[in-house]
Structure 1
Amino acid sequence: MKNLFDVSGKTAVVTGGSSGIGAMMAKGLLSNGAKAYITARKLERLEAMAEELSQYGECVAIQADMSKVEGIEAFVEEVSKHEDSIDILINNAGANWAAPLEQFPEKGWDKVMDINIKSVFFTTQKFIPLLKAAGTSESPARVINIASINGIRNSGMPTYAYSASKSGVIHLTEHLATDLASSNINVNAIAPGLFPSDMTKQIVENDGMADAAIKQIPRGRMGQPEDIAGTAIYLSSRASAWLTGKTIALDGGMISTA
């Protein structure tokens, strides 16, 4: 029972790992003895984050465009040059687009859907051989999909593609979990609430908006790096070996008050 949350020696892949909660989860895994591959589209930012995270453990940066299947395939091929198996895949890369209903553009819809839901499916699909190679009955490989509480309830914001895509992530998580359980691969999701990130900076950096948002959170604060990292570690460790197909709302109780 002493090592229930041990992730030392495991190899993780974190998409969208150059900033925000992706970097927070990568840091948590690295700090607890895992090796991490992080990917993002912008190389300079990605390499800077990999250098920063390398003080906590072995962190490898691989540039990739996860919105396209060919980009996903190239990324998996590059990881496969270094690893015969992958213990943890965190599908975190995401995008958002806000526009009034009458003006919401097709390019915004497609951009969000390509990275938020299409990439989750095809990244998982392409990594199946490496995940199978790592998983056993007692210690399954893990896929962790990053959804959002806005995939569970109406955010009240004109982010139609984002909400729809994150709802899709939650359902896809259940579907993949059912199909991959026999391959010793657990699939779960985290639905974060308000965390500081590029996607939420308009709220976080505006005192009035931040205060209003925090008033809706029973715990009285926004999420911290330890919150998302701790949940990712739980979903990656022996402690969650019998948990699959579930979405954990990590929001300080926000949606419970709706």
Structure 2
Amino acid sequence: MKLNNKVAVVTGAGSGNGRGIALSYLREGAAVVVADINEDGGKETVSLAPEDSRVISIRTDVTKKDEVENMVAQTIKEFGRIDILVNNAGIVSFTPFLELSEEEWDRVHDINLKGPFLCSQVVAKEMLKQNNGGRIINMTSVEAHVVVSSSGNCQPHYNSSKGGLTMLTKALASELASYGITVNSIAPGPIETPFTEMGLKNPAIKKWILEQVPVGRVGQPRDIANAAIFLALDESDFITGTTLFVDGGWTVK
């Protein structure tokens, strides 16, 4: 098992990519904390875990520092340490720029950017106490690097939040490197999750998406989970501050 004896916190693990990462980490021997504001989703992820897994679900609003601190304290109490943090919790919305409210802008940035900041800061402090390095993995997006528009409407709030997370990844990688903590990001392309379910059910949208992906298929959560396993391994300790694109070639096309 590649992650035997490791302890991982995965935010937004109540569904989609987060669930895929959490279950893959469990299959590789890690203990996992499923941190999600959706308590029912978190419990469902736990119910899907392999038999005899070390896994707990903690309801967590990543935009609230006290809830993040509580989640981390419970993790330490249960498992004694944190080796891996995956900042996966995020939201997307499709409101056109000219109709975008200040409240919606703030909500997207709070969850997609402030959340990873808070979780990384609180977890990194625990990693420093352990004096054994650690892994922080941020979930960004191809839309941190390119503007995707199939209907004339863009997502400036989403683009900027994920672009900010990409730069946060680089900044934290630089600051935490001397402590043996690596910080990297994964940039998914089109992945079949609850986020994309509505669009993929539309034949015209799915056709347009497939035309953008050279490998000719929509990605699956396992594709993201495989990347998250790699970046969590001890063997990846010379990789930091980088973005691993898991997009079927979208950004090269």
Could you say which TM-score interval applies, normalised by the shorter chain? Answer: over 0.9
- Pick from 178, 189, 196: which aligns with 2:192? 196
When residues 29 and 134 of structure 1 are mapped into structure 2, their CA distance, relative to the original with a 3 A threshold, is: farther
Where do 1:11-90 residues align within 5 Å?
A: 11-55=7-51, 57-90=53-86
Deviates more, 1:228-237 or 1:201-210: 201-210
Distance in 2 (CA, whole Å) between partners of 1:231 and 1:134 is: 25
User: Which residue does the alignment assign to 1:97?
Assistant: 93
User: Which residue does the alignment assign to 1:117?
Assistant: 113
Alpha-carbon shift at residue 133 of structure 1 (Å): 4.1
Check conservation: 1:135, 1:183, Cα contact below 8 A: yes
User: Which residue does the alignment assign to 1:152?
Assistant: 145
When residues 89 and 135 of structure 1 are mapped into structure 2, their CA distance, relative to the original with a 3 A threshold, is: farther
Check conservation: 1:17, 1:23, Cα contact below 8 A: yes
Distance in 2 (CA, whole Å) between partners of 1:149 and 1:169 is: 12
Report the TM-score when normalising by structure 2: 0.94
Alpha-carbon shift at residue 235 of structure 1 (Å): 0.2
What amino acid sits opposite 2:250 in the alignment?
Answer: M
- Pick from 209, 214, 219: which aligns with 2:215? 219
Alpha-carbon shift at residue 239 of structure 1 (Å): 2.4
Aligned-partner SS, 1:253: coil
Distance in 2 (CA, whole Å) between partners of 1:53 and 1:112 is: 30
Where do 1:205-244 residues align within 5 Å?
A: 205-244=201-240
Distance in 2 (CA, whole Å) between partners of 1:56 and 1:193 is: 33
Check conservation: 2:75, 2:81, Cα contact below 8 A: no
Check conservation: 2:8, 2:32, Cα contact below 8 A: yes
- Pick from 127, 146, 154: which aligns with 2:123? 127
Gaps of 5+ in 2: none
- 1:83-139 Cα distance to aligned partner (Å, 9 max, x none): 332110000000112212211011111110001000111111011132224553xxx
- 1:28-53 Cα distance to aligned partner (Å, 9 max, x none): 11111111101111212211221112
User: Which residue does the alignment assign to 1:141?
Assistant: 134
Check conservation: 1:84, 1:133, Cα contact below 8 A: no
Distance in 2 (CA, whole Å) between partners of 1:212 and 1:219 is: 14
Alpha-carbon shift at residue 17 of structure 1 (Å): 0.2
RMSD: 1.6
Report the TM-score when normalising by structure 1: 0.92
Distance in 2 (CA, whole Å) between partners of 1:166 and 1:77 is: 28
Deviates more, 1:67-76 or 1:126-135: 126-135
Alpha-carbon shift at residue 230 of structure 1 (Å): 1.0
Alpha-carbon shift at residue 56 of structure 1 (Å): 7.4
What amino acid sits opposite 2:25 in the alignment?
Answer: L
What amino acid sits opposite 2:217 in the alignment?
Answer: R
What is the aligned residue count?
A: 250
Aligned-partner SS, 1:210: helix
Distance in 1 (CA, whole Å) between partners of 2:221 and 2:54 is: 19
Percent of aligned positions with the same letter in both sequences? 33
Distance in 2 (CA, whole Å) between partners of 1:14 and 1:72 is: 12
Distance in 2 (CA, whole Å) between partners of 1:231 and 1:56 is: 25
Gaps of 5+ in 1: none
